[in-house]
A = this chain, B = another copy of it.
Amino acid sequence: MASDRRKARDSGSSVWLSGPPARHASGGQPHGLGLDKIVEATVRLLDAEGLAKVSMRRLAGELGVTAMSVYWYVDTKDELLELALDHVHEEIRLPADDVDWRERLRQLAREHRRMLVTHPWVSPLAGEYLNIGPRALAFAECAQEAIRDSGLPARSWLGALSLLFQFSYGFGTVEGRWRERCRSLGVSEDELHGEVMARLAGRSEYAVSLATVQARGEGAVGVLRERDFEFALDCAIAGITEMGRSGTGSVGGR
């Protein structure tokens, strides 16, 4: 099953039993395809057309080559998508070490969300592959180093990080999907929001939900969403701080 043909691939031993290969060919060929070029084209195509529209034939067409050529560099489509997935993690800017741990976590969550919104195809892939490519790893490690300064006992580190980054993942995912929908319908976010609100208003089943959304107050959806995100982030950080202060970080009584 392995990629034993390609030169300059690492030994292929993955952390996962059926897991992804990691490194790719050293940038060598002057006029060949090259894995780098393929991955970049894949990301470009994913950004432009979305996950559903990307096929090996379509990608090959973009590269001016036959579908099967790509299979010389990659064993399966999944492997290619994993490479694309890790590739965009490069865009995540990691905070400096000397910043307060709270602010470091905040920045990481914001960057995480931004990356997911910029590349909506990342969400389903990140859910599917339990991926840790080298760039995603750098992101994860930075978060782990930040939580160490929180005062939480070590046994609670993973749980706390889970709260923060499952949140930024989910938030970025639905935000990205929403913006895709706006784009594909050719309407602005505020226009679509207005339409949806109007429809909700006509249906009594949705009364509670409508009230909750309206209770956020007036303003452009982008502004309100920003406030929601920051507030949720504040809640999470406050909760982590509180749990670090109040006790041993063990699961609270019921």
Contact = CB atoms under 8 A, between A and B. Distances in A.
A188 to B, nearest CB: 13
B252 A234 contact: yes
A239 to B, nearest CB: 3
A137 B174 contact: no
A5 interface: no
A67 to B, nearest CB: 20
A207 to B, nearest CB: 9
A140 B159 CA distance: 24
A122 to B, nearest CB: 11
B18 A228 contact: no
Interface residues of A, number: 78
A227 B212 contact: no
A159 B231 contact: yes
Interface string A131-153: 01010010011001100000000
A231 B144 CA distance: 16
Interface string A166-200: 11011101100110010001010000100110011
Interface in A105-138: 123-124, 127-128, 130, 132, 134, 137
B251 A243 contact: no
A238 interface: yes
Interface stretch (A39-47, A68-76, A79-87, A213-221): A213-221
Given A166-B170, A209-B137, A239-B238, A155 B196 contact: no
A162 B156 contact: no
Contacts of A48: none
Interface of A: 13-18, 103, 123-124, 127-128, 130, 132, 134, 137, 140-141, 144-145, 154-163, 165-167, 169-171, 173-174, 177-178, 181, 185, 187, 192, 195-196, 199-200, 203, 205-206, 208-209, 212-213, 215-217, 227-232, 234-240, 242-243, 246, 249-252, 254
16 contacts: A124-B124, A132-B209, A140-B209, A145-B208, A154-B216, A155-B227, A159-B227, A159-B235, A162-B229, A163-B236, A166-B169, A234-B251, A236-B239, A238-B238, A238-B252, A242-B242
